Amino acid sequence: MQITILAVGSVKEKFYREAIKEFEKRLSRYCKLKIVEVDDEKTPDGASEKMCEQIIRKEGDKLSCHIPDNSYVISLAIEGKKYDSVAFSKKISNLAVCGNSSIVFIIGGSLGISDDIKKSSNELISFSDMTFPHQLMRVILLEQVYRAYRIINNEPYHK
């Protein structure tokens, strides 16, 4: 299975980069992992709603260029479906069983994900009603994908 994390912006803090590297290493025994970053658009202080919409749309255009054909696309959005860890692992397992060899998870920038990306996604999921920094969300997503593979393979995991 190919898992792609497609994200707006780069990870600047060393501790996040180290956590991401650790999960990349752990996941290497279960799947092929690829992380693709697109540049974020600078949002000026006091940006108008129209300007924010333009920024989200530009970031969405950058993201869409990196979505491989025939991938199952899951965008992370606060209004998305919530899974517990076992249900999330079943989702990943079922996608593989149904012949999906590529899953793309999309993490938007500080303003969110464009409506075009959301509409073209196969599914929207949410990890919480809270908002997380995109750098931290990468770590959370990778940890949950790792946990899912542990569950799929009947290996111990923290409950």
Q: What is the pLDDT of residue 155?
A: 94
Q: What is the pLDDT of residue 2?
A: 95
pLDDT band at 75 (very low <50, low <70, confident <90, very high): very high
Confidence check: pLDDT of 134 > 90: no
Confidence check: pLDDT of 7 > 70: yes
Q: Rounded CA gap, 57 and 8, in Å?
A: 12
pLDDT band at 156 (very low <50, low <70, confident <90, very high): confident
Contact 136, 128 (CB under 8 A): no
Q: Rounded CA gap, 120 and 148, in Å?
A: 25
pLDDT band at 158 (very low <50, low <70, confident <90, very high): confident
For the entire predicted model, the pTM comes to: 0.94
CATH tag, 2-152: 3.40.1280.10
Q: What would the 3-class secondary structure string for the chain be?
A: CEEEEEEECCCCCHHHHHHHHHHHHHHCCCCEEEEEEECCCCCCCCCCHHHHHHHHHHHHHHHHCCCCCCCEEEEEEEEEEECCHHHHHHHHHHHHHCCCCEEEEEECECCECCHHHHHHCCEEEECCCCCCCHHHHHHHHHHHHHHHHHHHCCCCCCC
Axis crossing angle, helix 14-27 with helix 134-152, rounded to the nearest 10? 20
Structure tokens at 117: 């990306």
